[in-house]
Amino acid sequence: MRSRLYLALAAAAALWIAPATASPAPPGVRKLHVAGGAVHAAVGASNKQVRLTLDPDLQRAAERLLARSGAPEGAIVASDVRTGRILVWASRGKRDYVATPLAPSASLFKIVTAAALLEAGKVNVATPVCYTGGMSAITARDLQGRGATCTVFGEALGRSINGVFARLAGQHLTAADLRRKARDLGFDGEVPIDVPVAPSAARIPDDALGLARAGAGFWSGRLSPLGALFAMQTIANDGERVRLSLLAPPGAHAGGDAAAPAPRSTDGRGLRPEVARTLRSMLEVTTRRGTCAKAFRKPDGTRALGTMPVAAKTGTLVGGSPARMFSWFASFAPSDRPEIAVSVMLANDIAWRTKANLVGRELLEIYFGRRRPGPVARRR
């Protein structure tokens, strides 16, 4: 049943999604291996062996989760929010997909639209918005009239309501507004990091319908998991663009130096602090009662990670050649005192085994489970 459903969606999505050909990328990070209690890899065109900042145990866990997912291609990347230190850089497939913009940004692009609307002062969390349609596409008719269903803006991001973002983008934003904010948040251009990476590319049409579609996550370009991670880290840091670091500091020795706090380096500001805090509260809706609420509930009805607040955004689109079901999970936790940011992208066959939100949740459980006494649900 599920397979037939996604085959139908794939046919519909062909109208919206270009073939899933990845942009040209640097050689990336390859041949990761653990030696002397640290992770090493070949980086760049020279194949130079370098020591990385990765957490060996968390890296192994991420690689196991990717293998278990069964996805032909996928990636997990995680960072220490406070310093920008990369903790996980795991890829599955024929190339390094962490820094490759393979997948459409899909509904993750709603983060960009929400940020642009909030910074322009056009909406707040209590702003009522009525909309029509938009379940799997945005048409010109969806942008007309008063709308048949109403909600408030504060609920729309976590519930990923296409019609809300299409209408608001069309009414209040220009293509330049979206392009500017996409660059601020890592959805367009290169992410500030100490290794060569391929730039993500936002595609924002100038016509009214194209702009509305892009604002809702249709035709909005391709994004690397690293770009999604940077967006979450920026929001978690109250809008400050903290540079990411993958290379261990010079002079690091075996036994944990790579895990020592790195100097925090910033690259300007991507959001005003008050806007970042508003986005944080909107992203918490995702795991509480939005698109990821089910994934954060265990079979016995208890909540994964207990009472810990988790900010997240999901995205799903079907398309490409060969056909893929792309799923996204981008997150940081705890959202009230952020420690870790996580980005997961899976490019599944149409008959899929698991989605990115479940993989991301499991990685968060592993991270917090080993650091807290007793069950993962317990908090200090």
Q: What is the pLDDT of residue 136?
A: 86
Q: Nearest-CA neighbor of 216 among 152, 145, 160?
A: 160
Task: Give me the pLDDT at residue 217, please.
Answer: 96
Range 296-310 average pLDDT: 92
Distance of CA 86 to the CA centre of its chain: 15
Cβ partners under 8 Å of residue 103, min gap 6: 20, 222, 223, 317, 324, 326, 328, 345, 347
Q: For residues 280 and 235, is the Cβ–Cβ distance under 8 A?
A: yes
Separation between Cα atoms, residue 282 and residue 158, nearest integer Å: 6
Asked if CATH classification 3.40.710.10 holds for the domain at 2-53+97-310, the reply, yes or no, is yes
Stretch 291-309: mean pLDDT: 93
Q: Specify the 3-state DSSP secondary structure of 14.
A: coil
Report the chain's C-alpha Rg in angstroms.
20
Among 21-25, 188-192, 201-205, 367-371, the range scoring the smallest mean pLDDT is 21-25
**pLDDT value at position 341?**
99
Per-residue DSSP letter, 193: B
On the question of pLDDT at 194 being above 60, the answer is yes
Q: Which residues contact 262 (CB under 8 A, 6 or more apart)?
A: 53, 83, 84, 85, 245, 249
**Closest residue by Cα to residue 244 from 271, 225, 222, 257:** 225
